[in-house]
Amino acid sequence: NYSVKEIITSGDKRIGYKIKNNLLIYSKETSRNELIIYVDAKKNKSIKEKNIKNEIKKYQINLKVNLTFYRFEETEDKEVINLNITGDYSVDQVHSRTIANEKKLIDNLTENISEKLIDEIDIRLNDI
């Protein structure tokens, strides 16, 4: 339904890169709707749960993505999409598994937020 002319990312580079690739997958070269997209992705990691010994048992990650897009010809009509998504992961006894849990959670959250962004772009382009 749209063609991406340019995507500019800022904030967390890894998340921005994955969102950019997911948006490009749904881009069609032959579409009349040429878009310029700005993606600002931020990740916030906080402690969710501690045990009696004051050891951290769970972390919570909040992804905040602000996406601004407009048609290539119409720079005045900007559309802004703000999305937040939260998830948590457990701390494992082995540190490498804890890191793997965090990466898997971030990947899942990024996929979910990308799908929501793509749906929202389609809805807003159909309204115009």
Give the separation between CA 110 and CA 36, rounded to whole angstroms: 20
The pTM of this model reads: 0.89
The pLDDT of residue 47: 95
Calculate ∠ Cα 58-19-30, nearest 5°. Answer: 160
**Mean pLDDT of successive 10-residue segments in the chain (128 residues)?**
88 94 86 88 96 95 94 78 96 95 96 93 79
Reported as a single tens digit per residue, the pLDDT across 19-43 is 999 999 888 887 788 889 999 999 9
Going from the C-alpha of 84 to that of each of 36, 38, 52, 67, the distances in angstroms are 22, 16, 31, 11
CA atoms of 102 and 31, how far apart (whole Å)? 37
Q: What pLDDT is stored for residue 75 in this prediction?
A: 64
